Amino acid sequence: MNNFILKILIFIFIVNLNYAQDNKIPERIIITLTETPTNSMAVNWRTVEEIMKPEVQVAEPTAWTEFESNTKSFNVLSKKLLTDKKVEVNEYSARMIDLKPNTLYAYRVGGDSVWSEWNQFRTAEDTIAPFKFVYFGDPQNDLKQHCSRVFRGF
């Protein structure tokens, strides 16, 4: 009987651990231009559960995963907010600074061992040159189903 109770307790612990990690997965990651897009970019995201040590990691990408050992971390501001559906979430924002002009960067957001996928951006050139970007009105719902092809096309 004691063995059965121990198995139940272990199961409950694992389920709770997975639930907590799932609620720390970064959502609604938005990268934003700054006043100096040649050497900085901004990013914000949110989670349901609070991340105790939120972080943004940035590196120049390589052909494989070697870039992960050369990441720079940036300070993150965090605050709690209430959504229109009265759900409390945690919002994070950071400014990635001291970047090189016209350089491709990989970045991810998260912390507490829970991270987003690696995404990429390119800083602007340091001379006057055309700059391409895509603007979407407000695609908040059903992103995977309806907007993912458009997002990945750019």
Q: Find out whether 38 and 85 touch, Cβ atoms under 8 Å.
A: no
Locate 101 and state its tokens: 């002009």
* pLDDT value, residue 131: 73
| Residue that is written with structure tokens 């907590």 in the block | 20
* pLDDT value, residue 15: 46
Query: 21: which residues sit within 8 A by CB, 6+ positions away?
Result: 113, 114
The residues of the chain scoring below 70 in pLDDT are 1-21, 134, 136, 138-146, 148-149, 151-154
> What CA dihedral angle connects 148, 149, 152 and 154, to 10 degrees?
-120
CA 41 → CA 47, 82, 91, 94, distances in Å? 21, 26, 17, 9
> What CA dihedral angle connects 118, 77, 85 and 25, to 10 degrees?
30
* pLDDT value, residue 18: 46
* pLDDT value, residue 55: 96
* pLDDT value, residue 119: 92
* pLDDT value, residue 147: 72
| Residue that is written with structure tokens 């700059």 in the block | 131
